[in-house]
């Protein structure tokens, strides 16, 4: 486990590369490293709440699929500013627990994405079917010199 911790200490994290103390717009502060959809990596702040992490019973969390408990720890883990010096104070079991909780969060995120895609596909299918079942609609527009008819069909 000490090897794991030393490897983590030696490697620069992605958040260290993307975070800036700049007061500019996030897209400028990050050197343009953001998606075209407007997403950007937020600056990390605060410390990891180890007491909160220690209170998690992993076996119970997995057994009961306690999403509310998992959800209550997402911001603490996602946005904490974990530095090399912080890792020196973590015990091996704490590092493993942090990693395991992170895995469970990512697993739930993947599940949620799959559910959203499935729901979107279902809604798209329902929309297409509803559109096909609508009758043809014609609108007549009378102008002083012309009569225009616009028909819409599925």
- Dump pLDDT digits (tens) for 83-120: 888 888 888 999 999 999 999 999 999 999 999 999 99
- Dump pLDDT digits (tens) for 29-64: 444 455 667 888 888 888 888 888 889 999 999 999
Is-contact 70 104, C-beta < 8 A? Answer: yes
The alpha-helical segments, DSSP class H, found in 19-142 are 26-29, 50-54, 58-64, 67-79, 84-87, 92-133
- The two three-digit tokens of residue 77, written as one number: 């883990």
| Angle, alpha carbons 87-93-98 (nearest 5°) | 65
Of 7, 9, 101, the C-alpha closest to 49 is 101
pTM, whole model, 2 decimals?
0.60
């Amino acid at each position: 486990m000490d090897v794991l911790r030393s490897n983590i200490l030696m490697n620069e994290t992605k958040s260290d590369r993307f975070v800036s103390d700049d007061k500019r717009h996030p897209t400028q502060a990050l050197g343009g490293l953001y998606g075209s959809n407007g997403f950007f990596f937020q600056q990390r702040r605060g410390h990891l709440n180890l007491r909160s992490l220690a209170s998690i019973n992993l076996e119970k969390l997995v057994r009961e699929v306690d999403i509310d408990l998992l959800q209550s720890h997402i911001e603490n883990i996602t946005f904490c500013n974990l530095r090399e010096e912080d890792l020196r104070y973590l015990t091996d079991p704490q590092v493993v627990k942090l990693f395991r909780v992170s895995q469970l969060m990512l697993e739930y995120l993947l599940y949620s994405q799959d559910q959203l895609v499935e729901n979107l596909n279902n809604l798209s299918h329902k929309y297409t079917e509803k559109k096909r079942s609508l009758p043809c609609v014609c609108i007549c527009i009378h102008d002083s010199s012309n009569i225009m008819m616009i028909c819409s069909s599925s």
